[in-house]
Every structure is written in structure tokens, then in C-alpha cells.
Amino acid sequence: MKRILFLLLFSVIIKINFSQETSYPFLLEEQIHFLIGNYIEDSCVSLCHLRKTTDLLTNRDITHVNGVPLAKRRKAFIRHVKHLSEKLEEIALDKTMVNDSTLNLISELEYLKSSIIAKSNNNLTPFPTIKEKKEMAINSLKSKKWMRYPILPISNINPNETAYWKPINEDKHRSFNALSKLKGINSGKEMAVIFKKLNYSGSAPKIRTYDLNLDDEWSLKWGDEVHTDVAASRIFAAIGYDIDHPYCYKNGKLMLIFDGSRSINNWEQLRDSISAIYDTDLEPFFLEEGTVNQKMATENNELSGYVGNNYVKFIKCGLEARPDRVKRLGTFLPDQLYNHKRLELRGALLLHAFIGNWDTRKENTLLTTVHDGNYNYDVSAVFSDLGASFGVSYSILFADFKVGLVNEFPWEVAFKKKNKVFLKNPINEFPISYSSVDYNDLRWMAKQISHLDSLTLRKCVSKAKWPYPIEELFFNKLASRRASIISSFDIIDPNPIEYNRKITIEENGKIIVKKGELIVDYKIEENPESFISKKGRKRNYGY
């Protein structure tokens, strides 16, 4: 009882000192009571409690937590935890009174622990269960009913810079590349990667590959997300969120080399393995196969070690960076540690709606440690796998879905009726951060979206490398959806973007887009996944 009274009194004192003006990457006012209860004794950091957490995160001989096998803790992660805990150990040994800066360090440690535990639990069931699939379907069906927001008196609160969001004040179209540079990602117009191993997770076919420098990895993907993921990630980056780094490669600009020392050593073996794992035929994505020769090695010296090895090129594929500097933990915990109180997380619901993202499961979020190249690490929250967007068709019967269907991407996403704002974007999961959203959370994001100008939107869409008519249609639709959001929240548009809802595009005398609708299955041999067919992954994209 005494202890509880002390905790209450102490947390009140700390709360007085907690300044909303000061920006902390992790600490929220609401966490203080929990952190004090778990890590503080006599106003100081408790070594005993601290070490319990640190040991769990760094001791490679601890292999299970609550009976669940612990997820892999990489060297860089362990190093960062030790840096963090050593700072706290000195504070503990000095018997320094705890303050909010100390609590922020403890909070970061708690985030790392919870994320690793979440990943460990997720590893047990890497594929959605029947129950989860059913919930996704129910959420999708009920989204329309749930996503209506009574208009409130306007509040102009802005979030501080945190691990979850950083304000981008200028050159929004450069923010994706700025993040790439920070993470040491080097993507070229043409790329060669080395086969590493098959992947067994996710619903879209993918494999793990090495960069030619053998330090960095790339995830190589095929299917309907190779354009959508690129555009979606760039839009999220332009708003200030951290993201994955996907790129689209077409017409054989990517060469996959088999180095002869792995289980898969040629195109046929790859195709058969992908077929066995994902039930997907890669044949329509195949462009050519061959052997790396001396001429290729002369043109690109980095290929010299692979002369004589088999390679394959594709009509189109996606390549997502897995740089050595970035270590991926578990989810960024949208439902834990009071994260639903974060305006920057609640507001993200409207950004998902803007790009038409359907797959809002917490599994598609990440905490990452980013090495700054000088033995320091920043922990950053990442919106991952944003590709289930830009026109999604889902089938409850087949538990299947298809993305990037331009005609399924409505011209409007928000509208105001009576005293409510309505969002038209079904999503498959409502973490508390999204189910507890109110008008002002969305209005904050609407203001962020209003700052996306024509150049930024165009750059995001063009990097996705959609064929010209599809790109034009998506650009016009995004501009229209943006306008619907801005007007619904009564915001004066600082950068009006022109769009044409009746756009018609002709190629060689043939109408491709008529009055804002794609009317032909555009160049199916170059786009095997199709921009019209609703047959998804389970049905082999309809081919």
C-alpha cells in the first residue's frame, strides 16, 4: 500500500516535470506510471529490474520467453541495447533521481523488448489463421460503417518529432531518397543481385538476395505489388513517416545471378520452388536466362567473380532493400505502451485511406534500429508492406485479394455529410490507434496531405513505373482524392493540383482510358499481373 502511494506521488511529481514542449522519441506522459512501477525504486533506476530486461534482450543463451522461442536478436541490436542499458546503469549506480530524459531511455528499452516479444509470438503463426482471415473480412465489410467522424471544434495540436514521425518542411519529394541515403541503400538503374535463399512467408512470391557487395540484402518480388508498394512508400515518406524501400525493375534491368553454392542454381529450379511454395507460376514474368560472360564482367567489374554462373532476367519485378545498417525487429506496437495516444499514429489512418491501403495489420509495421555508420543507432518506426493499395479487390470466398486495380481506386475518398466526415476505404484491421481516431486527428493529417504538391505526387507516381496510361490515371485519381480530403476538412488548399475525372487516353488510335476508366487489359504480355483482372494470388493472377 505504501509502495502504491509512493508510486502515485512520484508519478505526479514526474508529470509536473514532464514537458510536452520537449520532444522525446519514445516517452509519452501516459507511460510514466507504468515505467516507474516497473523500473524505479526509491526515485532511482533499479539495477535489478533493468538487468532483467537487458538480459532478456542480449543473452543469446536465453532462447525462450513465456515458452515461446525468442526471435533472432542480431549483433547490432544487442550492441544498441547494451549502449542504452550502460547509460542507465551509470544513472543507477550514481543514484541520480530519475527524470523524463531517463524515463525516455527506459521507454525505448521497453519498446525494444515488447517488439521482440511481439515478433517471437508472430513467428509462431506466420500465416493468418482462419479466424484471423474471418476477422479481416468482417473489418473490411464494416469499415464503411465505422469510418464516420463527427465534426469537432478545431484543435490545432501538432505532434512533436518522435521515432514514429518527423516533420518534412521542404522538398517532400526528396524525403524517400534522403532516408535511403541515411540507411546506405544504393539502388541503380540496372541492378545485379545474387540468389541467397527462398522465402516462405507472405502471400506474394519473393526470395532473399544479396547485393554484389555481399553486405546488403534485397528482397526480390513478383506480382501485383511491384508498382503500388513503390508509390505508397514514397507518399508515406513525403509526409514524414519511415518506410521500406521498394523499387520497380522492368525489361530485364535486374539480373538475378546464381552463385553455384546455393540450393537453387538456375531459372527452372527457382520457378519450380516458387510454384511449390506460393502456388504461383513465374513463367509469365520471365524474360531471359543465360550465363555471365567475360563481356558482362568487363562492363561491370563487380561481375568478374561470377563469370560462368547462371543468371535470369525478368519482364518486371520489385526489389526491396534490406540494408545491413537496418535491423528489423517486430511490430511498432500500435496497440501497446499507450501508442494509441500518438496523434502521428492516429492520423495515419487518413493517409492509408488516401493511398487506398487495405492491409493495415500491425504485422505490417516495424521497429528498426538504423546504424548511423559510427556505432550509434537510431530506433525508427516503419510503415512496412504498403503495397496492398491503389485499388484493392478482395474475395471473402477465396480469402484472396488483388491490388493496383486502377478502376477499383475511387476518385473520392472522403466526403462531408451533415455533421460528419466519412472515409471510403475498407481496411482489414483496426488497431486501437485507428479505432480511437477522432475528427481532429484526421484533420491534422488532412493538413499534411494538403502540403503534398503536384511535383511530389508526380514523382511518387512516376517512380512506380506504371505504364503511361495507368500512371496518368493514378495521378489524376490521387489529385482528386487529395482534393476530396482537403475540402471535407474545410482546409484552404495551399497547392491546388489540377485533375481530370473524365480523362481519355488514346494510343495508336486505340482508346485505352475512356472518361476516367481503363477499358483495356493494357499490354498483358508486359504486365502479366493485369490492371483489370480481379483474380488474385491464390488464383495465380488469372493467368
Partner 1 sequence: MDIKKILLVCLLMPLLQSFGQDVETQKKFTFPQSVSIQDFVTNTENLSEFKSYYHSINLYYDLYLDNENKDLYKMGYSLRFRKRIMNDSIETYVFQLKDEMGLEKEIRMEVEENELDFYRVKDEDEWTPLPAVLDVIFNLYSDLSSKPDSILFSHNVELIEKWIKTKANGSIAPFQRLRYIDSLTFDPNKVKSFRPVLIGSSFRKRGHIYVDSSYTAQEKLPFNRKNKTETPMFFKLNTNYNWLFESSIDNATFIYLKNNKSVNIIEYEVENKFIDAQKGHDLLKKYENIMVNRLGLHIKYDSKYKQSIQSLQ
Cβ proximity to partner 1: between 216 and 472 the closer is 216
Which amino acid is located at 185 in the chain?
I
Residue 281: count of CB within 10 angstroms of its CB: 16
State in Å, rounded, how far the first CA of the chain is from the last one: 68
Closer to partner 1 at the Cβ: 112 or 512?
Answer: 112
Among positions 29, 30, 41, 259, the unique one binding partner 1 when judged by CB under 8 A = 259
Judged by CB under 8 A, does residue 95 bind partner 1?
no
What is the rounded distance in angstroms from the CA atom of residue 227 to the CA atom of residue 403?
A: 10
Q: What are the residues whose beta carbons fall under 8 Å from the beta carbon of 108, sequence distance 6 or more?
A: 25, 26, 84, 163, 379
Residue 292: CB minimum distance to partner 1, A: 14
Minimum CB–partner distance for residue 106 and partner 1 (Å):
15
Residue 374 engages partner 1 in binding (rule: CB under 8 A): no
One of 277, 503, 505, 520 touching partner 1 (CB under 8 A)? 277
Q: How far apart are CA 437 and CA 439, in angstroms?
A: 7
- Name every residue whose Cβ is closer than 8 Å to that of residue 359 and which is 6 or more positions away in sequence: 385, 388, 427, 428, 429
By CB under 8 A, the residues from 53 to 82 that bind partner 1 are: 54-55, 58-61, 63, 69, 72, 79, 81-82
Min CB(239)–partner 1 separation in Å: 34
Cβ proximity to partner 1, 278 vs 531, nearer residue:
278
Q: Does 200 bind partner 1 (CB under 8 A)?
A: yes
Pick the closer one to partner 1 by CB: 73 or 459: 73
Q: How far is the CB of 249 from partner 1 (least distance, A)?
A: 23
Angle, helix 2-17 to helix 32-39, in steps of 10 degrees:
130
- Return the number of the residue (19 or 201) whose C-beta is nearest partner 1: 201
Q: Which is nearer to partner 1, 211 or 242 (CB)?
A: 211
C-alpha cell at 14: 514526474
Cβ closest to partner 1, residue 192 vs residue 351 = 192
**Binders in 211-230 for partner 1, by CB under 8 A:** 213-215
Nearer to partner 1, 60 or 181 (CB): 60
From 20, 66, 156, 261, residue interacting with partner 1 (rule: CB under 8 A): 261
Q: Any idea what DSSP says for residue 95? A: T
The position carrying cell 520489385 is 318
Q: Find, among 453, 415, 390, the residue nearest to 148 by Cα.
A: 415
Minimum CB–partner distance for residue 214 and partner 1 (Å):
4
Is position 468 an interface residue for partner 1 (rule: CB under 8 A)? no
**Cβ distance to partner 1 smaller for residue 200 or 468:** 200
Per-residue H/E/C for 103-130: HHHHHHHHHHHHHHHHHHHHHHCCCCCH
x-marked contacts with partner 1 along 278-317 as a string, rule CB under 8 A: -x------------------------xx------------
How many CA atoms lie within 13 Å of 76's alpha carbon, on the beta-carbon side?
19
Among residues 8, 17, 23, 86, the one that binds partner 1 under rule CB under 8 A: 86
Min dist CB 24 to partner 1, Å, is 22
Q: CB within 8 A of 130, min separation 6: which ones?
A: none
> Which of 277, 519 has the CB closer to partner 1?
277
Do residues 15 and 32 touch, judged by C-beta distance below 8 A?
Answer: yes
Integer Cα distance of 480 and 493 in angstroms: 12
CA atoms within 13 A on the CB side of 476: 20
51 part of the interface to partner 1, by CB under 8 A: yes
d(Cα 281, Cα 103) in Å, to the nearest integer?
Answer: 52
Q: Least distance from C-beta 58 to partner 1, angstroms? A: 5
Q: Is 321 helix (H, G, I), strand (E, B) or coil?
A: strand
What is the Cα–Cα distance from 149 to 440, expressed in whole angstroms? 9
Contact residues toward partner 1 (CB under 8 A) are 51, 54-55, 58-61, 63, 69, 72, 79, 81-83, 85-86, 89-90, 93, 123, 126-127, 200, 213-215, 259-261, 276-277, 279, 304-305, 324, 375
